[in-house]
Amino acid sequence: MTSTLTLGLLGTGIMGAPMAVRLARAGYFVKVWNRSRDKAAPLEAEGITVCDSPAQAGQEADAVIVMLSSGQVCDDILLGEGALLDTMHEQSTLVVMSSIPVETARRQAEEAKKRNVRYLDAPVSGGEKGAIDGTLAIMAGGEPATFEALRPVLAHLGNPVHVGPAGSGELAKLANQMIVGNTIATVAEALLLAERGGADPAKVREALMGGFADSTILRLHGQRMLDNDFRPGGPAKWQYKDSSTAVALLDSLQLDLPVTRLVDALFQSMVEHGDGDLDHSALIRELRRRNALPV
C-alpha cells in the first residue's frame, strides 16, 4: 500500500486522535468522525477532514479504522441504522481496533464478508503514550492476505502481529488485559505492603527494577501510584469492561482462572466507588479503601 490511500477513522478519543495524526503525517489522506464533533475539530490543523457521520468517513475510503468504546457501540455504527458497512466499497478493509468480545469480532467479520469488505480485528495495547509515539502493540486477527495488505498502514501506529483468524486479535487483547490488570493489582499490593511495613515504597520500587519483578507496570504505573497521579491514560472503566469480558469468556470455556476473577471483582468495586474515569493504576485506591487507609 502507498500513501495515496484514503483512510477513515472513527473515534478520536485518547487513542484515536494521536493515531489519526500519525497516519496523516505519514502521508495518507485521513477522514475522521467522532460522536462529539468539537473534540475532533483540532485535527483539522493536521490536514485531517472531520466528517459529520460515520458513513461520510467511510465513503471512498480504502480502509476504515474503528476506535470506539465497546462492542455494542461498534455494532451500532457498523450494522445499525445507516450502517457503515453498507457504505464501504467492495474490497475495502474494515479494521476494528476497539477492544470488543471475541464473538462480536467473528460476527462482524461474517457481516463484512457478505458485503465483500475485508475485515481485521486489531486491538492495541500501549495507552496514550504508545498511540502518540507509534509504539502500540497491535494484535491482528483475520485473513493473512488482508493483514499483509494493511501491515504498512498499521506499522505507522506500532508493531502489528498477525495472531490468527478473525476474533484472534480480541482473544490476544483479553490475554494482554489479564496480564495488565493482574500486574497492576500485584504492584499496588506490593507498594502498600512496603508502606505499611515501614519501608520507603519509592525506594522499594527502585530496588526491584532490573530484577525478575521488573515490568512496564512497575516502572510506569508504580510511579503513578507513588505520585498519586491518576490522569487517565487507560481509564479503569475500560479495564473493567475488558476484565468482565474475559471472565465471561472463561465461563463459556469452563476455565477456572481465580486470579483474573479476583482482579475483575476489584476493578468492579473501583468503578462502583466512582473511580472509573481515573487511570487503571488507581486500583491502589480500592486496596486502600479495603484496608481503611487514606485514599
Is 237 a residue of the active site? Answer: no
Q: Give every CB contact of residue 110 below 8 A, 6+ residues apart in sequence.
A: none
Q: By three-state DSSP, how is residue 272 classified? A: helix
The answer to whether residues 124 and 154 touch, using CB atoms and an 8 Å cutoff, is no
User: Mean pLDDT of successive 10-residue segments in the chain (295 residues)?
Assistant: 81 96 97 95 97 94 95 93 91 96 96 97 93 97 98 98 98 96 98 98 98 97 98 92 95 97 98 98 98 95
Picking from 154, 121, 159, the residue whose alpha carbon sits closest to that of residue 26 is: 154
C-alpha gyration radius of the chain: 20
Pairwise CA distance, residues 65 & 44, whole Å: 18
Query: May I ask the CATH architecture of the domain 6-165?
Result: 3-Layer(aba) Sandwich (3.40)
Report the pLDDT value the prediction gives residue 3, as an integer from 0 to 100: 59
Query: What does the block give as the cell for 212?
Result: 525478575
Report the pLDDT value the prediction gives residue 277, as an integer from 0 to 100: 97
Q: Model's pTM, two decimal places?
A: 0.90
Pairwise CA distance, residues 205 & 209, whole Å: 6
Report the pLDDT value the prediction gives residue 1, as an integer from 0 to 100: 42
Catalytic annotation, pick one of 173, 203, 237, 241: 173
Half-sphere exposure of residue 115: CA atoms within 13 angstroms, side-chain side: 21
Report the pLDDT value the prediction gives residue 2, as an integer from 0 to 100: 46
Picking from 26, 14, 8, the residue whose alpha carbon sits closest to that of residue 65 is: 8
Pairwise CA distance, residues 243 & 200, whole Å: 31
Backbone angles phi, psi at 87, to 5 degrees: -100, -15
Apex CA 112: angle with CA 111 and CA 115, to 5°? 95
Pairwise CA distance, residues 245 & 170, whole Å: 10
Pairwise CA distance, residues 21 & 12, whole Å: 10
The helix/strand count (H/E) of the chain reads as: 14, 9
Picking from 130, 111, 58, the residue whose alpha carbon sits closest to that of residue 87 is: 58
CATH superfamily of 171-290: N-(1-d-carboxylethyl)-l-norvaline Dehydrogenase; domain 2 (1.10.1040.10)
Picking from 74, 91, 92, 95, the residue whose alpha carbon sits closest to that of residue 83 is: 74
Picking from 146, 159, 121, the residue whose alpha carbon sits closest to that of residue 62 is: 146
Domain ranges of the chain: 6-165, 171-290
